Amino acid sequence: MKTDKTIKTLLATSLVATMAIANPSITAVKVDDSIDLSKVSNDDKVWSKAKRANIALYPQTTIKMNDKNANKINAKNFAKDAKILAVYNSNNVAFKIDWKDASENKADITTSSDVYADGFAVQMPTNFSDPKKLPYIGMGSKDRPVLVHLQKATATHYEPNGNKDVSLQVNRHQTNTFEKELAAFDKNVSDAAIKDYQRAYISEGFRSMTQIRDKDIAFNMNMSYNKGSWSATMSKALKDGYLDLTKSGAVPVAFAVWDGAKLGRDGIKNLSTWVAVDFEGKKGNEALVTELTAKVEGDAKAGKALTDTMCASCHSYADKVAAMPTMAPNLSNIGGYSTAAYLVESIKDPSAVVVAGYNRNAHKNTAWYTLGAKGERVSTMPPMMSDDKQIADTVAYLMTLKAEVK
Amino acid sequence: MSKRQLAMVMDLNKCIGCQTCTVACKTQWTNRNGREYMYWNNVETYPGDGYPKKWMEQGGGFDAAGDLQDGIIPNIEADYGVPWDYNYESLASVNVLGNDADKDGYSIKGAETPGLHPTTEPTWGPNWDEDEGAGNFPSDNYFFYLPRICNHCTNPGCLSACPRDAIFKRDEDGVVLVDLDRCQGYRYCIAGCPYKKIYFNPKISKSEKCILCFPRVEQGLPPACAQQCVGRIRFVGFLDDEESQVYKLVHKHKVALPLRSDYGTQPNIYYIPPTESPAKFDAEGKIIEGSTRVPMEELEALFGKEVHGVVEKLKAEQKTRKETGKSEILDLLIAFNHSEMFRLDNNYYQEVAKAKGQSPLAPVDTRYVKGKHTKVAFGGGHH
């Protein structure tokens, strides 16, 4: 059967992706300006022109959320394989993301307190001029903001909106209306609903994530479920009030997906590392593509020995669980969603990027940072190594720390 | 920790379980817009499963080392009790005796039940086990009422669990609020709160909770639950205000204790433990002199070891009062004058608002009112 063959090929490809140390990039194919990419749909014929890239999405394990049931379900997650297509023209860039999900979860939110919707997000840095100093993958870091574009499959919901429609908030049985008038009331309520859970955020680390409520960001997302897979698109103007890609030859992009069946939301997700999206036929940002696709040079075996002696007392990873779980970022999937440059930077200068971590009230004895005189975050991790060979070996090992793709 | 802390004391000896507080809160805040199932104020029977069901077993709070504990998020239908509606519409067209009744007026099996009935079969609800209590009737059964609101903790579990910094504690009075502009509906706060006093609003997909009636408090009015309390069991005031009856009961006389302080959240709602319960009966139905029905172990589980001293003190105070006619503690607890139970210091809030240049005070977390990179601050509406 043809489908079986495709799956086998896919498995083989993803396995290779796991084994290889270098990360793939995504080629955005140039299409004609007459095509309106801002309204592109999942089954648009423009996608037939695109080149597929397989990007692995790793389970977020850096911090552990406090939902007992979710932690049980997500204890041993595998990485997911996302098939990504990208096209661009003078006005827009558009992505199509396909990933497997055994069930469609739309979270019928009108009556439930404990169901969650599937969803996906596309993240981009607002500044990527230095490919060695990209924002932290977990929604940016101090002075390195990211834009997050989020789409959830959440059905109808309402928001406090300042539209003075308070009369629509009452229970329908308290309205003094019957039959036709009640039906009209129901319709007005339904019309006031937000049917598309699509949001954009700007963030310097996940605690600071703030919703963008102005009209200066131009993007569109949609997702549809069909036979065990989600198909999603995200299109974005090449230039809006927050990001200008008109002069870029490439841009780093990260993808994340949530599985409602696994109580996924926020940090309970699968995410990619920064992936270089190369605008085909456009010059600029060659260093970015080189950096994000480079093979990590180093002796991973020597690096393991270094990691075990120098990192394991605070960090948990692989079979190393000696450290207190809240002591430091868990490194179990660090190789899956980190760039090598980030790891090098963090080993040399841990305070360059301080992970937002837990609320400082949640685990007082294991704070990940102290506050400096000006309120700046100073990592509790001291600079660990200065020898470049040691650092390269350690990073080579850390890059192998990631879940298998399934 | 906030600069000042507003607190409440509830006298459990005087709570009659009439739910007037519950209704006052519900009609003021939670009878609409996705909050229908929520009871920011509830009165449960103790011992009992409480609201939500078995909330004490659902995790959250802190361990002895101060680490936030994992918890679970209750289910509306199974744990809170779904607020069912009735088939009002069908009453207009359907014979209340039942169109589907047979000639003798009995309902035909399998047909819709005639008359007014719930649209969903209720399986659980707040006060499902009201007045059941524990023990054997009539020899040693017992229960008392436990009114509960958000504890506006000094070390809140909900706030600590939020990965989006969407929950904040007001500096001026310690009221714990959800910034609905920041809340993304993740619900970790619910898992983190050991009292399960923060709720998910499924309609707006955000968490909501008791706000200690801050818009009333800022105007010098006590929270609705306290003002409406027919038993005059609730005292409201600042913990650092020596003139307030709250201060006198909590700090001066030390007869009010927080609920389950072992959860480590440093709650700010205090309780006068129940000292009064009838004597037990023996097998012949005779009164066992000197016995008391509410076991001290139960009170210790709720209010900690200190409860023994507090109960002794309250009993001694009753004796003193009987003998001498004098007792400041009992004068306070009798609550001769309702308005004296509240000391809210209206001018204080006016000064705070003035100092902040806000009137009224902003109900959002001012840390994020103006996002560093966003061009529109709170109030911009959704996209």
CB contact under 8 A, B80 and A113: yes
Task: Specify the pLDDT at position A160.
Answer: 72
The stretch A57-66 carries a mean pLDDT of 97
| Tokens linked to A94 | 């558009």
Whether residue A175 is predicted with pLDDT greater than 90 in this model: the reply is: no
What are the distances in angstroms from CA B361 to CA A166, A267, A332, B30, B240?
Answer: 21, 33, 45, 22, 21
CB contact under 8 A, A158 and B185: no
Q: Where are the beta strands (DSSP E) in A129-218?
A: 146-152, 197-203, 210-211
Query: What ranges in A68-129 are assigned the alpha helix state H?
Result: 68-73
Closest alpha carbon within chain B to A206: B164
Lowest-pLDDT range of A124-133, A178-187, B155-164, B220-229 = A178-187
CB contact under 8 A, A160 and B162: no
Cα B34 from Cα B199, distance rounded (Å) = 10
Q: Angle formed by the axes of helices A388-398 and A340-348, to 10°?
A: 130
Chain B interface test: which of A126, A168, A213, A326 (most B C-beta within 10 Å): A213
* All residues at 6 or more sequence positions from A213 whose CB lies less than 8 Å from its CB, including other chains: B374, B376, B380, B381, B382, B383
Q: Find chain A residues with C-beta within 8 A of B33's C-beta.
A: 158, 169-170
Task: Specify the pLDDT at position A57.
Answer: 98
Q: Find chain B residues with C-beta within 8 A of A323's C-beta.
A: none
The minimal CB distance from A365 to the residues B66, B92, B160 is found for B66
* Mean pLDDT computed over every residue of chain A: 91
- Contact call for residues A293 and A23 (beta carbons, < 8 A): yes
Cα B193 from Cα B155, distance rounded (Å) = 11
Closest alpha carbon within chain B to A171: B32
Lowest-pLDDT range of A11-25, A28-42, A200-214, B132-146 = A11-25
CB pairs below 8 Å between A and B: how many? 174
Cα A200 from Cα A150, distance rounded (Å) = 6
Q: Which residue has the tokens 């409406």?
A: B228
Nearest to A331, CA basis, from A351, A297, A304 = A304
Question: A251, exposed or middle or buried, with CB in 10 Å at 0-12, 13-18, 19+?
Answer: buried
**Is residue B377 classed as helix, strand or coil in its secondary structure?**
coil
- Contact call for residues A379 and A369 (beta carbons, < 8 A): yes
- Contact call for residues A117 and A106 (beta carbons, < 8 A): yes
Cα B267 from Cα B256, distance rounded (Å) = 12
| Tokens linked to A141 | 């870091």
The minimal CB distance from A171 to the residues B36, B69, B80 is found for B36
Nearest to A403, CA basis, from A340, A332, A339 = A332
Note the Cα B86 to chain centre separation in Å: 27
Q: Which long-range contacts (CB under 8 A, 24 or more apart) does A300-309 make?
A: A300/A393, A300/A396, A300/A397, A300/A399, A300/A400, A301/A397, A302/A393, A302/A397, A303/A392, A303/A393, A303/A394, A303/A395, A303/A396, A303/A397, A303/A398, A304/A397, A306/A385, A306/A390, A306/A393, A306/A394, A306/A397, A307/A394, A307/A397, A307/A398
Task: Specify the pLDDT at position B103.
Answer: 59
Q: Does B373 touch chain A (CB under 8 A)?
A: yes
The residues in B 309-368 lying below 8 A from A, measured between CB atoms, are 368
The residues in B 50-69 lying below 8 A from A, measured between CB atoms, are 59-60, 65-69
DSSP state of B78: I
Min Cα–Cα distance to chain A from B152, Å: 15
User: From the CB of residue A287, how many other CB atoms can be counted at a distance below 10 Å?
Assistant: 14
CB contact under 8 A, B67 and A365: yes
Query: What ranges in B11-54 are assigned the alpha helix state H?
Result: 20-25
* All residues at 6 or more sequence positions from B361 whose CB lies less than 8 Å from its CB, including other chains: B170, B172, B214, B218, B349, B352, B353
Q: φ and ψ at B21, to 5 degrees?
A: -60, -45
- Contact call for residues A258 and A279 (beta carbons, < 8 A): no
**Is residue A292 classed as helix, strand or coil in its secondary structure?**
helix
Q: Does B182 touch chain A (CB under 8 A)?
A: yes
Task: Specify the pLDDT at position A166.
Answer: 80
β partners of residue A96: A85, A233
Task: Specify the pLDDT at position B378.
Answer: 46
Task: Specify the pLDDT at position B87.
Answer: 74
> Using DSSP, how many helices (H) and how many strands (E) does chain A show?
8, 15
Cα A13 from Cα A53, distance rounded (Å) = 10
Q: Where are the beta strands (DSSP E) in A144-260?
A: 146-152, 197-203, 210-211, 219-226, 229-237, 250-258
Query: What string of pLDDT tens digits covers the 383 residues of chain B?
Result: 789 999 999 999 999 999 999 999 999 999 888 999 999 999 999 999 999 999 999 999 999 999 999 999 999 989 999 888 887 776 665 555 555 555 565 555 555 566 677 877 888 999 999 999 999 999 999 999 999 999 999 999 999 999 999 999 999 999 999 998 899 999 999 999 999 999 999 999 999 999 999 989 998 899 999 999 999 999 999 999 999 999 999 999 999 999 999 999 999 999 999 998 999 999 999 999 999 999 999 999 999 999 999 999 999 999 999 999 999 999 999 999 999 999 997 789 888 888 888 766 766 656 555 555 666 554 443 33
Domains, chain B, ranges and CATH? Answer: 6-81+127-340 (3.30.70.20)
What are the distances in angstroms from CA B254 to CA A268, B7, B267, B351?
Answer: 45, 14, 15, 31
Q: Which residue has the tokens 């409860």?
A: B307
CB contact under 8 A, A362 and B161: yes
Task: Specify the pLDDT at position B92.
Answer: 62
What's the complex ipTM?
A: 0.92
Q: Angle formed by the axes of helices A300-310 and A388-398, to 10°?
A: 90
The stretch A245-266 carries a mean pLDDT of 97
DSSP state of B94: S
Task: Specify the pLDDT at position B1.
Answer: 74
Q: Which residue has the tokens 């002895």?
A: B64
CB contact under 8 A, B74 and A114: yes
* All residues at 6 or more sequence positions from A104 whose CB lies less than 8 Å from its CB, including other chains: A118, A153, A225, A230
Question: Which of residues A9 and A91 earns the better pLDDT score?
Answer: A91
Q: Does B211 touch chain A (CB under 8 A)?
A: no
Whether residue A4 is predicted with pLDDT greater than 50 in this model: the reply is: no
Task: Specify the pLDDT at position B181.
Answer: 86
Prediction pTM value: 0.91
User: From the CB of residue B351, how many other CB atoms can be counted at a distance below 10 Å?
Assistant: 12
- Where residue B357 falls (left for φ over 0; alpha for ψ -120 to 50; beta otherwise) is left
Nearest to A326, CA basis, from A63, A60, A75, A59 = A63
What are the distances in angstroms from CA B42 to CA A69, B22, B80, B375?
Answer: 26, 5, 11, 41
- Contact call for residues A241 and A234 (beta carbons, < 8 A): no
* A256-271 per-position pLDDT tens digit: 999 999 999 999 999 9
- Contact call for residues B213 and B182 (beta carbons, < 8 A): no
Cα A166 from Cα A174, distance rounded (Å) = 13
Cα B145 from Cα B156, distance rounded (Å) = 24
Whether residue A19 is predicted with pLDDT greater than 60 in this model: the reply is: no
**Is residue B28 classed as helix, strand or coil in its secondary structure?**
helix
What are the distances in angstroms from CA A379 to CA A205, A346, A353, A356, A369?
Answer: 14, 10, 8, 10, 4
- Contact call for residues B374 and A213 (beta carbons, < 8 A): yes
Chain B interface test: which of A65, A188, A210 (most B C-beta within 10 Å): A210
Task: Specify the pLDDT at position A179.
Answer: 84
- pLDDT category at A110 given cuts 50, 70, 90 is low
